[in-house]
Amino acid sequence: MGRHRGKYEDEEGGGRPRTEGRSRRRRRRGGAFAALAAAFAIILAAGLTGTYIFMNQSGCSGQDITLDVAVSPEIAAPVQAVAREFNDANHGVDGQCVRAKVRGVESADVAYGITGGGPTMGDTDSQVWIPDSSLWVSFVQEQSGEGGVTDSGTSVASSPLVLAQPQDAEGDEQPSWSALVPTAAPSEGSSDSEVRLVDPVRSSSGLATLALISNTIDDADQEGRPQLVAALQSLQKGATPTEEAAFEAFAEQSSGDGADPVLVLSEQAALRYNHDHGDAPAHVSYPKGGSYSLDYPYVTRTDDPLTTRAAEVFRGALTQQAAQDRFLSEGFRTADGKADPEALPEDQGFSTKAPKNLPTPNNDTAQRLTQAWNQFKLGTRLLTIIDVSGSMLEQVPGTGSTRMQVTAAAAKQGLSLFPESTELGTWEFSVGLEGDQDHRERLPIKELSSESEGGATHEEAIASDLDRIQPVPDGDTGLYDTYLAAYREMAASYKSDRVNAILMLTDGNDDDPDGISLKQLLSTIEEESNPNHPIPVFTIAFGPGIDLEPMQKVAKLTGGEAYQTENPAEIGDIFLQAFSQRLEGAGGSEG
């Protein structure tokens, strides 16, 4: 009953009790929805906040920081690939996006662009610089002070220098730097391989090659300098202005019948060459004793704190394993020499084991060698004068040949010391060869590579003419008149872009009764000389009874040198001694 009453009471209570109950239920449901919505909003807000915090730490918004990155061209592609991923990841500094813009620029162009110390091409400004070698960093810091660039101490990759030869070339399996080029005058019948490298003035691999060879030569005194000269002369014959030109010349020589070429280049460059010349790849070898490695340093060129921090963020990206794997796949090594065995084919001579790393040449050494290279790169313009007096018919003991024959043979070998761009001419002299004139031109001064009569080169014409030159029986020696005539000829036709010099080959003293005296010769040269147009006179005298003093006085006055030997066969080595005088202008071997 009570249940009944209660029931009714609820029912009879009018609609109010029921209405209140429904209202409560609705409020409860509405409160639940509100609570759920609030909870969802909190969760959503928390999620968005977390996302914002994450993006603010590893991402960015707002204005970009564009990081201009100049890298050595051969490593540009993998660095650009890393930069694309870096940019997509929205790395930021102080909430601003860092965007790395990478372009390939020759290391020499950037270095010379900073210092003004050499020729440069294109836009070389950047905020980050990755040259192929720390050699360039040292050069810039030496020339422009520490403020020019800041080395981060990070090497993003490395690649040791190797020697590339044709696959069927004969030679040592593991050659040495000391035997790479001749360090003495060529002997008859010698046929050394032609070594090719990129000009050391523009290439760190070329400069390092020069330094590695120089290290095998004791050129700290006068006796060692001719060896360095021989090495310089040999290397300059095979030097090219660019890597592409070196590749082209090597490929052409490899398919020819001449001496086997040897190309000095980085391991990664050798891999690129073989990729482009799959039908005739080169065989790679590692010089015993070790090699120098290109080390690709990461360098900044900005004082702006924000840009410096941005550069640090990109540097970190380049040292990550994913970035390093890209470099390895392209044939580079890590900074500590590790390599990808799949990228360096063993059948082409490559080895995953890194060669012993030789130290980077110091800046003094690099500067000395660069100056020496430039001294010898400057074209030579040489007038060679050969004594044809009667005494040149005398026999040279132990040779079975006359002085003239031995001199001609030595002069022909000496021709091989000169690059094709050398301008060279020949005179002969005695007394009264043409009227009152003691000298006579045999061949004019021309570039050795220029065409001569019959289609031969000028160098070939000179070599052939040396075989035909004959002494004048009973002829005297009009030495002083010939010195003066040669000096005046070279002064009148002087070329400022070349080293203008005179080389006298004689076996006797002046004995022309109608000629000028030594005093007249010296005073006339002194009066007519131009300090801005030096013309050094080099004399090589051989045979018994030579009075070298007059020749030494001529040499001292003109900046040349006089040498004496009893064997004309030594002329080739004396050539090198004479050439080594040019090293004086390159700071000698100090440093």
Region of 129 (left: φ > 0; alpha: ψ -120 to 50; beta: rest) is beta
pLDDT of residue 58 exceeding 70? no
> Which helix (H) or strand (E) segment is 552 a member of?
helix 549-558
Q: What percent of the chain has pLDDT over 90?
A: 58
pLDDT of residue 55 exceeding 80? no
Quickly tell me which residue has 């001449």 as its tokens. Answer: 258
- Dihedral, CA atoms, 311, 317, 323, 327, nearest 10 degrees? 20
pLDDT value at residue 372 = 84
Mean pLDDT value across residues 537-561: 91
pLDDT value at residue 148 = 76
pLDDT of residue 543 exceeding 50? yes
Contact between 376 and 236 under an 8 Å Cβ cutoff? The reply is yes
pLDDT value at residue 188 = 54
Least trusted range by pLDDT, from 62-71, 320-329, 397-406, 423-432: 397-406
Contact between 291 and 160 under an 8 Å Cβ cutoff? The reply is yes
pLDDT value at residue 16 = 33
> How would DSSP label each residue in 366-411?
HHHHHHHHHHHHSPEEEEEEEE-SGGGGSEETTTTEEHHHHHHHHH
Quickly tell me which residue has 């449901």 as its tokens. Answer: 29
pLDDT tens column, 380-410:
899 999 999 999 999 888 888 899 998 888 8
Contact between 524 and 557 under an 8 Å Cβ cutoff? The reply is no
Which is nearest to 284 in space by CA: 266, 310, 306, 258?
266
What is the token pair recorded at 313? 């963020």
What is the token pair recorded at 347? 């059948």
pLDDT value at residue 187 = 58
pLDDT of residue 13 exceeding 70? no
Mean pLDDT value across residues 443-471: 93
Contact between 537 and 422 under an 8 Å Cβ cutoff? The reply is no
pLDDT tens column, 503-513:
999 988 999 99
pLDDT value at residue 216 = 85
User: Model confidence at 566, in pLDDT bands (50, 70, 90)?
Assistant: confident
> How would DSSP label each residue in 475-511?
----HHHHHHHHHHHHHHT--TTSEEEEEEEESS---
User: Model confidence at 10, in pLDDT bands (50, 70, 90)?
Assistant: very low
Q: Chain centroid to CA 456: how far?
A: 33
Contact between 489 and 383 under an 8 Å Cβ cutoff? The reply is yes
pLDDT value at residue 121 = 78
Distance between CA atoms of 230 and 79, rounded to whole angstroms? 40
> Which helix (H) or strand (E) segment is 66 a member of?
strand 65-71
pLDDT value at residue 387 = 95
pLDDT of residue 584 exceeding 50? yes
More confident residue, 420 or 469: 469
pLDDT tens column, 185-229:
665 545 556 899 999 999 999 999 999 988 888 665 566 678 888
Burial 471-506 (b: 16+ CB within 10 A, else e): bbeebbbbbbbbbbbbbebbeeeeeeeebbbbbbbb
pLDDT value at residue 186 = 61
Distance between CA atoms of 130 and 157, rounded to whole angstroms? 10
Backbone torsions φ then ψ of 245, nearest 5 degrees: -65, -35
